Structure 1
Amino acid sequence: MANKFDFTLRGGLKMPALGLGTYAPKEGDDDVFNAVHTAVKAGYRNLDCAAIYRNERAVGSAIKKLIVEGTIQREDLFITSKLWNTCHRPDLVRASLKKSLDDLGVKYLDLYLIHWPMAYKEGEEFMPLDENGKVIFSDVDYVDTWKVECHLHLQQDKLEEYVSCLQEPKVVELAKAKNKTPAQILLRFIIQRGLSAVPKSVKPERVVENFQIFDFELSEEEMELLRALNKDFRLNIETVAVDHKYYTFNDAF
């Protein structure tokens, strides 16, 4: 179970309940570097990374600077990265992990996940395409650990991971009553359910704002109000892989 700051995982390792998502497809390395630096200075100790984000070197540079500055030591951070779809074949996993370690400039990860449960053709391209522009699949099966989409409108009670939906009127109303932002309300909702959240942003003010969720609580009535907003609505269905034999996004969880 989680307290309001961290989980204790099965092996005894502690994972901070709130982390920084580093996916930033429209931003450059400088933005990612600054976001990570700002986040850790603000108190974040959980960094969510992935090979497909193509910015792990920028994340690693920020980590190195923070260590040199004396802000943190490596063991203060919980760092996650993810195996990309083209490297599901067992003989490719170790090399992919080593590449992320080298790019991040660390000797170990605290958590290594399979990014999606569908494998793509092995090779140099992240998105291998055929002559018709369709992703080429690999027949490699996935193992039993993968990330899932969860948020206010797809509450995923069976697997329980979350992201946020910020425009829901009842959330906006609750935010005004609490003198908080909708994002802060939804992040608090996640944390109070005993879940980990990794919101992403490269805007320093938003990074700091997202961490300011430990100075208030939602009542049980307010929690039930938010629980009732589930719509089983999935934002990301990875449409390029809809024909894959291991496509799972039509499943209940």
Structure 2
Amino acid sequence: MDYKKKFAAEFKNLDINYQLPDKFIKNMAKSTDKFRALILQGAPGVGKTYSVEQALNRYAQNRFELINGKTTMLSLYGCLYRASKKGHILFLDDCDSVFSDINGINLLKAAMDTKPSREIHWESSTAMLKALDIPSSFNFNGAVILNTNIGYDNHREKFITRLSALQDRALTITISNTDSDRLFKQVCYMVLVQDMLKSYGFTSKVKNELLEWIDVNRNRIKRISLRTIIKLSNIYSVDKKGWQDMAEQGLLFEADDAE
């Protein structure tokens, strides 16, 4: 199966969709006073993080700060300070802990605001701030990128409400929905067009074989995502002859067991 040929029309639309983050981040790196905040929404594992990191390394190398996963509010404040210079960008990748604490939302609201001057304050733990050589207030002249699955992955209504407050201050791009057919096509696009498996050194034939295995078994996989093809690629790399048996036991059993 040649999925690049089969989904040629869909890939043209996905080209447009995935080029949007690149265009926004290119302009953000040039002018953080005009492009202050960007939110990427979409289902888990469809390439949001990959797209942002590629663009940041292309346009803002050595000028961006990354927070991934759980973080404290003091750590968030420190990261905002380090990214506060004009032309610098803070990238928050799936940091749901920020949405659990209203203080984190308030920090981001201040950083992402549309007012001419964005001043951020931290009124407690001044001893800790002094130890870290971070002031208790500063002007934020950088930009913020927020990558989130909220609204696509069983998040609480409170999180959705708080995200809405940030969306009011930001540009928002929706990368994907949760339709399984569309998710599979996006995985094909990331593999065959964006070449996300480049480090494996796979031929086009092998890539299509791996994608075909996912296609045939898609009803037995709980959620198709880029993580699925990465796990399958690792299995193939270890055992090129018995990879299908290993995938049958490892990936499909894993999905069935989680039902």
Q: TM-score, normalised by structure 2?
A: 0.30
When Rg is computed on C-alpha atoms for both structures, the one with the higher figure is 2
Of structures 1 and 2, the one with the larger relative CO (CA 8 A, separation 6+) is 2
Q: TM-score, normalised by structure 1?
A: 0.30
Q: Which has a greater percent of helix?
A: 2
